[in-house]
Amino acid sequence: MKKIKKIIIYLICLFLPMNGLLATMQSSSYVIYDSVMHNFDGPVISAVAHSVSEQTATVTWTTDQISDAFVEYSTDSGFAASKEQGTSVQNATSHSVVVSGLSGATTYYYRVKSKRLNGGVSISTPAGNSFTTAAVVVPEPTPEAEPAASGGGLLIIDKTDKIAPVISEVALKILNNSEAELSWKTDEDATEFAEYGSSLAYGFVFGKWSASTEHVVKISNLQEGVEYHVRALSSDSWGNVGYSEDILFSTVKGVITDKPDDEASTTPPVVPLDEAGIMAEVSRRVLEFINRLFPEVSLNNLGNNLADINSLDDLNNFAPTPILSGEPRIRVTATEAVISWTTDIPATSQVAMATDADYRAGASEAYRQIIGNTENLDTVHEVTLYNLAPNTTYHIQLRSKPTIGAMARSRDFIFETATEELSITSFFSQVIDDQSAEFKWVTNKDADSEITYAPYRDGVLAVDLSRTVKDNALSVIHNIKISDFIGGTVYNVVFASTDENGNRITETLANFTTAPDDAPPVASHIKADSTVFLDRNNKTQTIISWLTNEPATSRILYQEGVHSVNADLKESTELNSNYTKEHVVVITKFKPGSVYTFRVESIDSGGNVVLSKLHTFMTAKKKESIFQIIMNILENTFGWMKKIG
């Protein structure tokens, strides 16, 4: 009988409707069900109304559940290029949003949106709600030479500009193996940006916010032989963005068309010097050199006959080689990688690198570039690899060399960069007056634009007073103006962009105020690294990087040699007007194997300047043959080579 009862209970539970079962649970565990097991529909919206002034509109409505409040509006009834204002704070059922920054004498279509806790979003219906702002009346200016006219005023009808700048006369000029220059014209004053990358997805944006009709953007940090796509972007004061056609180019081939390239001229191979005639004398001098440096070392234990020296390894076998620590620590993003390792004795920090396509296993030099510091010795090493291609496999080898002795080389390591993610590459603010400011930023992919700001009250962020302004148009350049700040109040401002796939990125200005900014940025973590390109006649380049505590520009002041603390450095790189907290400047004009003095300069959007203290470093030397290295050692030590004629 008990067994039959169990079967009956089981069947009842099996066929009982789920909503009936849940109903029995609600009396004791409703909160758990409500919060965890269910996503409710959006709240019910009712009583939508609006009132209008010259350039603002107040929209009100109610919901049956506590929810947030946004007004989506557009001059287009289809909301093709809509904007939003409101708050994401979910704390009320009665909502009022003041929509500011509107144009005078303009019809706007709007709809309200509210999202409840654990629920969906509701949008008001019908979507045809609209209002028309009043015309802006500006008093007519009084001519200086005539008496003032009486009565009336000048009626200004402000029509919203929906036409993007027309881009024309686009030209690309190859400057050198790592730089190109894109120029174009627009039919109205507009910003100038170049979007470029190794595919039609681009991924890099560089340019200026200053407006003009003639534009020139210099593109740096290009890799020789890589084919790049580039196009020009210009936006007018209304935020309309114009795009040029795509241009495919390479720093080696120039602009790539359907026409076959002319055969590249070949450089005659360099014939190595004949070392046989003087190797005996070199060996004798090397023996004397070793005796002077290491008198305690028994030459009988070196394991080599100095007369048979024919490689740097033979020469360095008597000195200890650094011991590299196991596998390196590799921190990877889509375009950068930070390589860290340790050695048992002080040594240099270098990383040899090549993409999987360029890696030549078994070759005497399997890698394409060597990046790092060739002068500073340490036991803790860190090298940052910049401008990597997203979703790409790379081979690296760690290299550390002590003052005297052979260079330690690790085995080959492999890592893969991440798929390119949405990122904000430059952002800053421009204060207009006590109530108004513009916020501008650049993303590496098309995304919308959103600014959320909240005031501090008694040192505490008043989240319940936060407001959000949003532009739903997708672009890589973003500009939002806020006009309802309170002078003297400190705000937390969040820049945000979301791409078409829902990926979201944010940056924060933690202490923004419309009061004058008189504090300069703080520069830190200043570092200089040199790169040797092994397949470009040992061409060298230097990468100087640093951080600032607020978005600022980037420039390097430098001069060859060692200089005093108060020296006025004579040369500088071009000003990079992109505002960022992470600064990277690539310099290709430094001489190899030379000492330079430099300082970094950053300027914030308020015009405040920070100049770092002086730093010195030595650039990487070009790769030398074994013969050249031995001869240089002997010449510097004894000076006897100057007498050989």
| Residue 643 predicted with pLDDT over 50 | no
Backbone torsions φ then ψ of 282, nearest 5 degrees? -60, -45
Structure tokens, 228? 């790049």
| Residue 467 predicted with pLDDT over 90 | yes
Confidence class for position 260, pLDDT limits 50, 70, 90? very low
Q: How far apart are CA 434 and CA 483, in angstroms?
A: 9
| Residue 5 predicted with pLDDT over 60 | no
Residues 102-130 have pLDDT tens digits of 888 889 999 999 998 877 899 997 666 89
Confidence class for position 630, pLDDT limits 50, 70, 90? low
The pLDDT value recorded for residue 516 is 78
Q: Which residue has the higher pLDDT, 330 or 458?
A: 330
Confidence class for position 578, pLDDT limits 50, 70, 90? confident
The pLDDT value recorded for residue 252 is 79
Residues 49-72 have pLDDT tens digits of 999 987 889 999 999 999 999 999
Q: How far apart are CA 281 and CA 631, in angstroms?
A: 10
Give mean pLDDT, residues 557-574. 90
Give mean pLDDT, residues 317-330. 80
The pLDDT value recorded for residue 21 is 41
| Residue 635 predicted with pLDDT over 60 | no
Global pTM exceeds 0.85: no
- CA 226 from chain centre, in angstroms, equals 21
Q: Which residue has the higher pLDDT, 143 or 618?
A: 618
The pLDDT value recorded for residue 215 is 94
Residue 340's alpha-carbon distances to 294, 325, 383, 409, in angstroms, are: 32, 10, 7, 14
| Residue 29 predicted with pLDDT over 60 | no
Q: Are the C-beta atoms of residues 499 and 507 closer than 8 Å to each other? A: no
Q: Are the C-beta atoms of residues 595 and 617 closer than 8 Å to each other? A: yes
Q: How far apart are CA 380 and CA 321, in angstroms?
A: 16
One-letter identity of residue 288: E
Confidence class for position 41, pLDDT limits 50, 70, 90? confident
The pLDDT value recorded for residue 24 is 37
One-letter identity of residue 537: N
Residues 486-539 have pLDDT tens digits of 888 899 999 999 999 899 999 999 889 988 777 889 999 999 888 777 655 667
Give mean pLDDT, residues 301-327. 60
Residue 617's alpha-carbon distances to 157, 350, 544, in angstroms, are: 61, 15, 11
The pLDDT value recorded for residue 134 is 83
Q: Are the C-beta atoms of residues 371 and 351 closer than 8 Å to each other? A: yes
Confidence class for position 374, pLDDT limits 50, 70, 90? confident
Q: Express as a percent the part of the chain with pLDDT over 70.
A: 75
Q: Which residue has the higher pLDDT, 213 or 642?
A: 213
Confidence class for position 321, pLDDT limits 50, 70, 90? confident
Ordered structural domains, the chain, with CATH: 45-132 (2.60.40.10), 167-255 (2.60.40.10), 329-416 (2.60.40.10), 424-512 (2.60.40.10), 523-618 (2.60.40.10)
Structure tokens, 362? 């078994």
Burial bucket for residue 3 (CB in 10 Å: 0-12, 13-18, 19+): exposed
Q: Which residues pair with 87 in a beta bridge?
A: 69
Give mean pLDDT, residues 290-312. 46
Q: Which residue has the higher pLDDT, 541 or 400?
A: 400
> What is the secondary structure of 545-564 as a DSSP string?
EEEEEEEEEEEEEEEES---
The pLDDT value recorded for residue 476 is 93
Give mean pLDDT, residues 83-107. 90
One-letter identity of residue 396: I
Which segment of 6-20, 353-367, 377-391, 478-492 scores lowest on mean pLDDT?
Answer: 6-20
